[in-house]
Amino acid sequence: MIDSQLSLNQCRVYMPKHENRMTDFAEQIRIGLDEALDHDPKLILMGLGVTDPKGVFGTTLGLLQKFGQERVLETPTSENAVTGIGVGLAVTGHKTVMVHQRLDFFLLAMDQLVNSAAKWHYMYGGQQSVPITIRLITGRGWGQGPTHSQNLHSWFTHIPGLKVVMPAFAQEVKELLRLSIEDPNPVLFIEDRWCHVQSAEESDLITPGSIQLGQAEILVPGDSLTVVAAGFAAVESLRAVSFLKERGIDVELINLRTLKPLDTATIFSSVKKTGRILVVDSGAEIASFASEVISQVSRNCFGSLKSAPQMICAPDVPEPTSHGVTEEFKFAAADIAKKITEMMESSIEADWTALNNVPHDAPNSTYMGPF
């Protein structure tokens, strides 16, 4: 479990690295890829931008120089074709990590994922695996607009044969990546680009082997209400929950880590204790992943509920590009905290601006852009 107040500071402010003390989300991905390539000489890393000077938000820097162009492959801008190559490599014995710098662009390769990679293991009676990990960068803000900022993670959870991982914090991302790469079948590894600058102390990193895919984390324990979130929504939820705990509202926060398989046992246990649930989801509301969580809770914990389950999601409209319009479009920690107080029928005197002390379209004031 992460200490809530410590994480609140570390997750919102990009702190300078100190030797042997600080690291960040992007660096942990780079180290995880480095270790995986070093461990398995047949592993291939490929994708548009993996050899670029900025290295996919800094996550692939130096890997070409260390492992060479036969194992770290720059690909053409042809998502469907190169994903097919990645799937082909995987089924012929080469574990593959494929990188798509935008989830939006990966939509061109859905046939390769849904009709090939996801089905192979089943169609061959469990005798054929497809060990491919597909990194998809998602997220909102900074004028990305409607075609570069979509959060479509719920789509992939609907497909049998796929696992969907959605890390939130620097402490967990490398171990979740290692588990994804070692899985014998396809894993969608979805990273919110705002998470790349989240920092952590190296001593707080998760010990290898201590978690598994499909295992959620009780990030902050509490008794009065359950909040469920993943990815950057978990970061914003942590800020809200920490803010309310300081004011006497005791909320439990679950960081899902993995959307599929979904750790319903942890969610149900929490809801049976608190009697209330709020799901925070960066996707649009209709047919959202939040809807699935609430459906599961309603069917399995109905007798424990003290009030109707609630969700906070993105509006059912495309994300605008205009800085002025996006300020009203996005939810943040203050919105989550206000919703919790409404559900608890609590009246607290709070300076909500204390939760809105960063730009609405960036993770913090040091963020220098999406590329």
My answer on whether 186 and 51 are in the same domain is yes
Residue 72 lies in a domain: yes
pLDDT score, position 359: 82
Q: How far apart are CA 191 and CA 178, in angstroms?
A: 14
Report the sign of the C-alpha dihedral through residues 31, 34, 40, 44, in that order: positive
Share of the chain residues as helix, strand and coil, in percent rounded to the nearest 5: 40, 15, 40
Residue 47 — very low, low, confident or very high, per pLDDT cuts 50/70/90? very high
Domain final residue, candidates 204, 230, 260: 204
Q: How far apart are CA 249 and CA 222, in angstroms?
A: 9
Residue 7 — very low, low, confident or very high, per pLDDT cuts 50/70/90? very low
Residue 371 lies in a domain: no
My answer on whether 196 and 234 are in the same domain is no
My answer on whether 189 and 315 are in the same domain is no
Q: What is the mean pLDDT of the chain?
A: 91
The region of weakest confidence among 34-43, 74-83, 238-247, 321-330 is 321-330
My answer on whether 254 and 298 are in the same domain is yes
Residue 360 lies in a domain: no
The overall longest dimension of the chain from CA atoms, in Å, is 61
Exposed, middle or buried: residue 46 (CB in 10 Å: 0-12, 13-18, 19+)? buried
Q: Enter the tokens of residue 185.
A: 């079948």
My answer on whether 304 and 184 are in the same domain is no
Domain final residue, candidates 170, 204, 238: 204
Is the peptide bond preceding residue 261 cis, with omega within 30 degrees of 0?
yes
| Domain count for the chain | 2
Mean pLDDT in residue range 170-191: 98
Residue 128 lies in a domain: yes
Residue 107 lies in a domain: yes
Q: Checking phi first, is residue 275 left (phi over 0); if not, alpha (psi -120 to 50) or beta?
A: left
Does pLDDT of 9 surpass 60?
A: no
321-337 pLDDT, tens digit each = 988 888 888 899 999 99
My answer on whether 72 and 193 are in the same domain is yes
Residue 364 — very low, low, confident or very high, per pLDDT cuts 50/70/90? confident
Does pLDDT of 316 surpass 80?
A: yes
Q: Which residue in the block uniquely carries the two structure tokens 């993670």?
A: 153
80 bridge partner residues: none
Residue 325 lies in a domain: yes
My answer on whether 85 and 173 are in the same domain is yes
Does pLDDT of 60 surpass 60?
A: yes
| Residue 173 CB partners (closer than 8 Å, separation 6+) | 25, 28, 29, 32, 167, 191, 195
My answer on whether 185 and 230 are in the same domain is no
Closest CA to 270 of 336, 226, 224, 217: 226
| Residue 35 CB partners (closer than 8 Å, separation 6+) | 178
88-140 pLDDT, tens digit each = 999 999 999 999 999 999 999 999 999 999 999 999 999 999 999 999 999 88
My answer on whether 27 and 126 are in the same domain is yes
Residue 185 lies in a domain: yes
294-308 pLDDT, tens digit each = 999 999 999 999 999
My answer on whether 131 and 251 are in the same domain is no
pLDDT score, position 356: 76
My answer on whether 160 and 240 are in the same domain is no
Instruction: Compute the chain's Rg from CA coordinates.
Output: 20
Residue 119 burial (CB count, 10 A): 17
Mean pLDDT in residue range 141-148: 86
- CATH number for the domain including 106? 3.40.50.970
Residue 5 lies in a domain: no
251-294 pLDDT, tens digit each = 999 999 999 999 999 999 999 999 999 999 999 999 999 999 99
Q: Please check whether residue 254 is in contact with residue 297, taking contact to mean a CB–CB distance below 8 angstroms.
A: no
- CATH number for the domain including 275? 3.40.50.920
As annotated, the active-site residues are 79, 148
Q: Which residue in the block uniquely carries the two structure tokens 């920092």?
A: 199
Q: Domain containing 333: what range? A: 217-355
Does pLDDT of 50 surpass 70?
A: yes
pLDDT score, position 271: 98
pLDDT score, position 355: 83
Distance from the first to the final alpha carbon of the chain: 32
pLDDT score, position 143: 83
My answer on whether 153 and 251 are in the same domain is no
Domain final residue, candidates 204, 237, 253: 204
